[in-house]
């Protein structure tokens, strides 16, 4: 039984490091991260159950101590406290829907995996773990490479065509590849972390061949194939075209070689030879392709070609739902540089922290907390109506959502490991007899370098599932390679006399069967949740395709399968309201009334249970606004809902605009004009706000006489003329209104 549990644990870890970077599907509401987190939860359940069953059979509770115990447990405690006092405890526990990484449950999983690995003799299988990790890396690299040239294997799976037609305009692998990771920044973070390990292995293989490095060594198939592998990885990194990941790699690359120089592992001449060979290809690739850092491209082939407009990198964000009144999108003067937008988001993150300095707004609640502290100047960017669910800086994200305690405990994990790594370097310098196991030593230099790359990548973005796994396991692998794990120090409690064998008794069998069924139930719930998400994804897509009756079937199924998930209910409420309106307009008032009642019940339930989620309030507004198309009494409910949303997002120009529109829909034109004027102060180039205010002035002019009528007509004309002169001289509706 113990051997069987060990085998299950071992192969589950192989699967974790091999499949998580590769796992994605088009069936779910989010293709990449959702599926990677689901797989991680499933494997964690299997590993934890096997570990517990093994301890039951051995009649011994045993958890191996490591040098990072205190920082890891303090960090986990900070996440738990932040979840309890969160703006939305459900979000903090599960994580932001569609990503989930970063919620309390994900960190519980990473902690379980960390201790299960070190407590179950995985050290002697470390080589196979590296094989699994690097085999996955090879597939990721080869999968992503052809997409740069317009041949994406993903599209071949999704649509049966080897091209890039399966991606929208926001995802252009010919501009920035992302392979199976899902986003270019995540791709570069993954590559930057693992490249030093591959380089270290290559140096180790070269050293196994006697004699100094020469062209002759390249005839060895292992040396040549690994060098080609390194070059492919670096080309992928350049094709992903992300500044943060590019800088992270070069920092890691520098740290790796400096560590080898410091330790004096090789004679200087030999080490310089290895350094020059590898980095020659890196610099040559930079020359051929260019880099994501524009200042470095002055002496590349790109600089000798005719100048062209560079592609602008935008921050990964999630668009907000369609606005209530569904106006035309305001004309933008250009795409705001992502760095400028990040400064605004970072300022909002700091303001969130200032409001709740100790434990923050709650783990993974940035999307809702940011609305409350969003700088008004964000309205003047090209991403003014995007929803930001992350601070795009991992450390500011921790600061905002888990406060100073969360950030400091996270930094303690990073700091303690870096301190222990530096101590190791100092203790090993120049002592030749300590360098006997060269392969382990090279990896012991590569792992901290990769760890530093993760730290840097997270500064420019945020972590994803596989990178958080590496954040836990790179230090652990380092400790194992450098013999820093004291196996005589365990948290253990034995229920069996030493040296005495006892067969499994009925009580143990009861525990084993109980754990087995608990694991099966948890896995079943995960599968059901995953299938509910598949149904939700279909319903959501049918809604966007305006096939509302088809959407109804799938959304009803999703809510039935996972009734506790508010995201499903939120979309279903909107679908029901749309169908209710359609039935009433088609003279089926009875069915329309039933659907309307269901929609109202659902949207009220969601907003009452999650009162701080502005996205749900926006949906509630849309539900009432749709129903108001067939019954004017719902305009007041829509107005009340949008006012509640405005309290949660006081600087959101779109919400302010919709408040003004709904005041007008309720016949309160003076308040509508006041609110639209406020909207214009939030966003001076908001075409729709000027146009709506002009219509309201015209309405007041029609109801007035004398001087008031003339004043209102002039104000309406001034707003329309402003649109023509300052926003869009060819605006057809505005020109028509002026001539009318």
CATH classification of the domain holding 714: 1.25.40.10
Tell me whether residue 638 is in a domain: yes
Largest pairwise CA distance in the chain: 105
Which residue(s) pair with 387 in the sheet? 318
If phi > 0 it is left, if psi is from -120 to 50 it is alpha, else beta; for residue 314 that is: beta
The pLDDT assigned to 431 comes to 60
* Beta-ladder partners of 490: 64
Instruction: Establish if 724 belongs to a structural domain.
Output: yes
Q: Which residue has the tokens 């999703």?
A: 558
CA angle 7, 13, 19 (to 5 degrees): 125
Residue 616 lies in a domain: yes
What is the mean pLDDT, run by run of 10 residues, along the chain of 740 residues? 94 97 94 96 98 92 94 98 96 94 97 97 94 97 95 91 86 91 94 97 87 69 91 96 94 96 88 93 92 81 56 38 36 69 93 96 95 94 90 95 97 97 87 68 96 96 95 97 88 67 83 96 96 97 96 97 96 97 94 96 97 96 96 95 96 96 94 96 95 94 89 94 94 89
Interacting residues of 713 by C-beta distance below 8 A, sequence separation 6+: 697, 698, 701
**621 in a structural domain:** yes
208: CB partners within 8 A, 6+ apart: none
Residue 602 located in a structural domain:
yes
Dist. CA 412–CA 464, nearest whole Å: 20
User: How far is Cα 6 from Cα 651, in angstroms, rounded to an integer?
Assistant: 55
Residue 162 · residue 151 · CB < 8 Å? yes
Q: How far apart are CA 79 and CA 360, in angstroms?
A: 10
Task: For residue 339, give the DSSP letter.
Answer: H
The dihedral region occupied by 95, where left means phi > 0, alpha psi between -120 and 50, and beta the remainder, is left
3-class SS of residue 63: strand
For position 489, what pLDDT does the model report? Answer: 83
Domain count, the chain: 1
d(CA 558, CA 560): 5
Residue span of the structural domain in which 621 resides: 558-739
Note whether residue 722 is domain-resident.
yes
Q: CA–CA separation, 326 vs 320, rounded Å?
A: 12
Question: 613: phi > 0 → left, psi -120 to 50 → alpha, else beta; which?
Answer: beta
Residue 577 lies inside a defined structural domain of this protein: yes
Residue 400 lies in a domain: no
**Per-residue pLDDT, 313:** 38
């Amino acid at each position: 039984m113990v051997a069987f549990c060990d085998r299950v644990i071992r192969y589950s870890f192989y699967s974790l490091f091999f499949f998580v970077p590769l796992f994605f599907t088009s069936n779910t509401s989010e293709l990449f991260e959702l599926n990677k987190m689901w797989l991680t939860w499933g494997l964690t359940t299997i590993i934890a159950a096997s570990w517990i069953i093994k301890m039951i059979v051995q009649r011994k509770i045993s958890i191996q101590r490591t040098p990072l115990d205190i920082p890891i447990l303090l960090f986990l405690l900070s996440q738990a406290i932040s979840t309890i006092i969160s703006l939305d405890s459900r979000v903090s526990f599960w994580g932001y829907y569609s990503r989930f990484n970063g919620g309390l449950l994900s960190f519980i999983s990473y902690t379980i995996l960390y201790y299960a690995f070190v407590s179950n003799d995985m050290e002697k299988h470390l080589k196979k773990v590296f094989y699994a990790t690097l085999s996955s890396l090879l597939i990721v690299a080869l999968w992503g490479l052809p997409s740069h040239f317009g041949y994406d294997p993903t599209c071949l799976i999704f649509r049966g065509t080897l091209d890039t037609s399966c991606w929208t305009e926001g995802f252009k692998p010919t501009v920035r590849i992302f392979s199976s990771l899902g986003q270019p920044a995540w791709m570069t973070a993954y590559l930057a972390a693992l490249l030093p390990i591959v380089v270290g292995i290559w140096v180790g293989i070269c050293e196994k061949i006697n004699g100094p490095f020469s062209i002759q060594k390249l005839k060895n198939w292992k040396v040549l194939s690994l060098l080609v592998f390194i070059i492919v990885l670096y080309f992928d990194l350049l094709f992903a075209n992300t500044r943060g990941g590019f800088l992270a790699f070069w920092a890691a690359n520098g740290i790796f070689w400096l560590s080898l120089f410091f330790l004096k592992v090789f004679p200087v001449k030999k080490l310089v030879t290895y350094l020059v060979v590898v980095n020659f290809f890196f610099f040559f690739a930079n020359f051929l392709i260019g880099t994501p850092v524009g200042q470095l491209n002055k002496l590349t082939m790109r600089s000798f070609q005719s100048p062209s407009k560079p592609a602008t990198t935008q921050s990964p964000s999630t668009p907000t739902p369609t606005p209530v009144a569904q106006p035309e999108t305001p004309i933008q003067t250009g795409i705001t540089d992502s760095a400028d937008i990040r400064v605004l988001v970072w300022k909002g993150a700091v303001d969130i922290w200032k409001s709740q300095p100790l434990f923050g707004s709650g783990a993974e609640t940035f999307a809702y907390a940011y609305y409350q502290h969003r700088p008004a100047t964000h309205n003047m960017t090209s991403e003014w109506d995007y929803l930001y669910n992350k601070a795009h800086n991992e450390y500011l994200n921790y600061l905002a959502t888990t406060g100073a305690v969360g950030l400091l405990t996270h930094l303690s994990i990073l700091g303690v490991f870096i301190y222990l790594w530096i101590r190791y370097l100092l203790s090993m310098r120049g002592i030749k007899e300590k360098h006997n196991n060269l392969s382990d030593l090279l990896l012991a230099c590569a792992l901290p370098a990769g760890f530093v790359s993760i730290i840097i990548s997270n500064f420019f973005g945020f972590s994803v599932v596989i990178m958080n796994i590496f954040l836990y396991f790179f230090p652990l692998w380092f400790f194992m390679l450098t013999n820093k794990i004291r196996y005589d120090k365990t948290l253990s409690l034995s229920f069996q006399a030493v040296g005495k064998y006892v067969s499994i008794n009925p009580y143990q069998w009861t525990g084993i069967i109980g754990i087995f069924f608990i694991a099966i139930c948890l896995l079943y719930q995960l599968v059901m949740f995953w299938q509910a998400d598949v149904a939700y994804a279909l319903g959501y897509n049918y809604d966007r395709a305006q096939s509302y009756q088809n959407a109804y079937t799938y959304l009803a199924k999703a809510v039935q399968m996972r009734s506790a998930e508010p995201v499903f209910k939120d979309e279903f409420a909107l679908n029901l309201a749309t169908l209710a309106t359609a039935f009433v307009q088609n003279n089926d008032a009875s069915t329309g009334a039933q659907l309307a009642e269901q929609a109202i019940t659902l949207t009220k339930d969601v907003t009452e249970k999650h009162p701080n989620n502005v996205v749900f309030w926006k949906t509630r507004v849309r539900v009432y606004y749709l129903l108001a198309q067939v019954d004017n009494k719902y305009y007041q409910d829509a107005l009340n809902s949008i006012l509640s949303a405005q309290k949660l997002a006081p600087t959101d120009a779109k919400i302010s605009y919709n408040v003004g529109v709904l005041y007008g829909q309720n016949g309160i034109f003076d308040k509508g004009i006041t609110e639209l004027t406020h909207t214009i102060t939030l966003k001076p180039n908001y075409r729709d706000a000027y146009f709506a205010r002009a219509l309201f002035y015209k309405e007041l002019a029609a109801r007035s006489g004398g001087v008031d009528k003339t004043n209102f007509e002039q104000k309406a004309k001034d707003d329309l003329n402003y649109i023509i002169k300052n926003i869009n001289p060819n605006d057809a509706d505005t020109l028509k209104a002026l001539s009318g």
